[in-house]
Structure 1
């Protein structure tokens, strides 16, 4: 067969491998990424990608993995069935291995759901890793998803002088075209984080009534 011919079976096998490897990486990143409210507030990034981007990569590759896996089974169905029939003719010599694999899988699922050791410790390690990114720093937003709230609502929520907020932003080079703009929009537009803009606002006396 000519090497220039596209081989769907080889393509599917390679795609399963590729998507599985990337899912492993993205899954580990999501395991240690800071909590959502902190990651979005500080505009946390790893390798230039935000928490939302890593989540999108992981989710879409998961769909791709399952789709490609279905094609993988399709292309190898006869081989798989022949293998199973051969094992059945040999009085199912893998029965011990099958029982052990099922038992281990059920233990992991059940232990994780019930928060038994050592599965509980695995999750606690992840929680510690999430906090380690900003150890000793105050990176909590004033309230959850403050970066998504329009400036007018943000000022009302924490009792700030809205004209003062807009003046401070404009003088610092972050002019908002309206009070309906969010901190997230302004931050992304100027390569900053919502937390940086908020701290800049709160450091100016003009924002207080």
Structure 2
């Protein structure tokens, strides 16, 4: 048994597992969507893929560290000039350093092609959100059925009747929605599908301004156009009020992108928009 071979092969195998799990997590939906729809790939949930990625990454780093230790003499030769003098900042080292710095700085400053890779991942996640649907609020699956009905303004007894009429059983309204869904071998989304608002933010049938709820899921991807269509929000008034506060925005830009430009969280910006809108009701 040779430690060098075992170390190299461990690093080799864990690298490919990390590579594959990275691709899975790159295209996987946001956590709120994955948990709501019981998203899986290869019978594994997003959380399980993340666990595999983390633990495999730790083993990979340990194997790589030991591999570097075993091959430190070879590494030292890479840091020598042609006349065999030891020098850290060789041409090869400088090129590798520049590539690494470019990746870090380019990602931080959102410069293409690094920003393009992030945008592509976001596009994958948004497409899956449209496919699988958004929960009505963050981690709705963790709410008890009783709590869910109170938040959504639903009658508990009528809700239970509708769920049972769809062929599902409800042992207790104090169970979490995900527990009831698991007992019925369905996702929380499937269990409550007839009771869940359309995740695509349909046009409101009312001409009156409607109150924007506090608990909305996926607020970062919303635009003022979405809020106008769903709640008849006065986008021009919202733009004017926020402009007076030094926050510049337009109707078509996502709340998340505006918030990033203003160095604030998407939820904080959404709360301001919601407050301005609801004050006019």
Correspondence for 1:187 among 177, 181, 187: 181
Specify whether residues 138 and 76 from structure 1 end up closer, same or farther in structure 2 by C-alpha distance, changes over 3 A only.
closer
**1:150 touches 1:183 (CA, 8 Å); kept in 2?**
yes
Q: Is the 8 A contact 2:29 2:128 kept in 1?
A: yes
1:149 to partner: Cα distance: 0.7
Deviations 1:26-74 (A, max 9, x none): 1111111112222221111222221111111111111111122222233
Q: Which has the higher contact order (CA 8 A, sep 6+)?
A: 1
Contact 1:37 1:140 in 2 (8 A): yes
**1:97 aligned onto 2:92:** yes
Q: What SS is found at the alignment partner of 1:133?
A: helix
The structure where helix makes up a greater share of residues is 1
What does the per-residue CA deviation read over 1:102-159, in whole Å, with 9 as the maximum and x for residues that have no partner?
A: 0111011001011112211111111112223355x57121111111111111011111
Aligned twin of 1:15: 10
TM-score (norm: length of structure 1): 0.81
In the alignment, is the contact (CA less than 8 A) between 1:150 and 1:179 conserved in 2? yes
Q: Contact conserved, 1:169 with 1:201, CA < 8 A, in 2?
A: no
Mapped partners of 2:79, 2:127: distance in 1: 52
**Matches of residues 75-86 of structure 1 in structure 2 within 5 Å?**
75-81=70-76, 83=77
How big is each residue's C-alpha offset from its partner over 1:142-177, in whole Å with a ceiling of 9 and x where there is no partner? 111111111111011111121232333344443232
Deviations 1:181-205 (A, max 9, x none): 12212223333111111114569xx
Three-state SS of the structure 1 residue aligned to 2:23 is: helix
What TM-score does the superposition give when structure 2 sets the normalisation length?
0.62
Does the 8 Å CA contact 2:33/2:129 hold for their aligned counterparts? no
User: Partners of 2:6 and 2:55 in 1: how far apart?
Assistant: 19
CA distance in 2, matches of 1:148, 1:128: 27
Given candidates 66, 74, 79, the residue that maps to 1:71 is: 66
Provide the rounded CA distance (Å) in 2 between the counterparts of 1:101 and 1:164. Answer: 64
Corresponding residue of 1:163: 157
CA distance in 1, matches of 2:107, 2:135: 31
Counterpart CA distance in 1 for 2:111 and 2:66 is 37
Q: Which residue in the other structure is 1:153 paired with?
A: 147
